[in-house]
């Protein structure tokens, strides 16, 4: 366990699951680093619930890694060209963190855009600890919860007016939405968005 990964674990909450973990036989590369992390704490919230790292094995919500990465849960709504991503964590808005074969990336659920954060979970941990407000939305999560109470497990804060459409990063533009509903809605939106010319119009609604 590297220094910054250990630090991230130390400031996080209780493990989401107390089940013992067994490394899947198919896991290699960066997934072995993820297993190292989860073997110390099997899923957790940090920064006042603005960061969620999913558990390897767990029933209920928040959904486990296996359930969250199932193609028919929400991924199928993103009918755009994407690399093979393994989603393992997310920020308060449901912005995803994922593993590729050689990198840790962020995934924007509104557009399907991908940005590289680092080449290891140590670099990812360092980025989060260095600027956790930027990477997790901590300040808005903290303010929203002071006004509305704790965010229930399995829910994230969705902008009422999407950020990509000019929605403000403000508490009054946020509402608590069930995690799968939030991702599926934005998946359909991102798919439509790719075909809209500059200046064109697009509609958005929450879907079951």
More confident residue, 203 or 126: 126
207 occurs within a structural domain: no
40 occurs within a structural domain: no
pLDDT beyond 70 at 195: no
**Mean pLDDT for the stretch of residues 48-73:** 95
Q: How confident is the model over 85-106, as pLDDT tens digits?
A: 999 999 999 999 999 999 999 9
138 occurs within a structural domain: yes
43 occurs within a structural domain: no
Separation of alpha carbons 200 and 28, rounded Å? 44
How many domains does the structure of the chain reveal? 1
34 occurs within a structural domain: no
Tell me the DSSP string of 4-65. Answer: HHHHHHHTS-S-S--S-----TT--THHHHHHHHHHHSSSEEETTTTEEE--SS-SSSSPPH
Closest alpha carbon to 94 in 105, 106, 102? 106
**Mean pLDDT for the stretch of residues 112-117:** 96
Phi-psi region of 52 (alpha: psi -120 to 50; beta: other; left: phi over 0): beta
Q: pLDDT at position 79, please? A: 86
21 occurs within a structural domain: no
Of 98-102, 103-107, 119-123, 200-204, the poorest mean pLDDT is in 200-204
pLDDT beyond 60 at 204: no
Expressed as residue numbers, the domain containing 71 is: 48-53+60-193
20 occurs within a structural domain: no
**Mean pLDDT for the stretch of residues 53-65:** 94
14 occurs within a structural domain: no
User: pLDDT > 90: what percent of the chain?
Assistant: 83
Separation of alpha carbons 122 and 111, rounded Å? 27
Sign of the torsion angle spanned by Cα atoms 175, 146, 17, 105: positive
């Amino acid at each position: 366990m590297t220094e910054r990964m250990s630090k991230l674990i130390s400031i996080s909450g209780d493990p989401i699951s107390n089940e013992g973990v067994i490394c899947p036989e198919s896991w290699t590369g960066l997934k072995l680093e993820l297993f190292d992390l989860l073997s110390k704490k099997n899923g957790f919230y940090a920064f006042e619930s603005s960061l969620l790292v999913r558990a390897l094995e767990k029933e209920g919500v928040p959904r486990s890694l296996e359930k969250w990465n199932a193609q028919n849960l929400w991924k199928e709504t993103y009918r755009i060209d994407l690399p093979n991503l393994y989603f393992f964590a997310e920020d308060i808005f449901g912005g995803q963190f994922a593993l590729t074969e050689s990198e840790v990336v962020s995934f924007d659920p509104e557009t399907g855009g991908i940005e590289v954060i680092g080449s290891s979970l140590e670099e990812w941990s360092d980025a989060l600890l260095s600027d956790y407000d930027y990477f997790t939305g901590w300040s808005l999560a903290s303010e929203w919860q002071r006004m509305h109470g704790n965010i229930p497990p399995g829910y994230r804060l969705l902008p009422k007016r999407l950020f990509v459409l000019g929605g403000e990063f403000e508490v009054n533009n946020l509402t608590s939405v069930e995690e799968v509903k939030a991702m599926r809605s934005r998946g359909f939106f991102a798919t439509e968005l790719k075909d809209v010319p500059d200046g064109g119009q697009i509609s958005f609604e929450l879907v079951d």
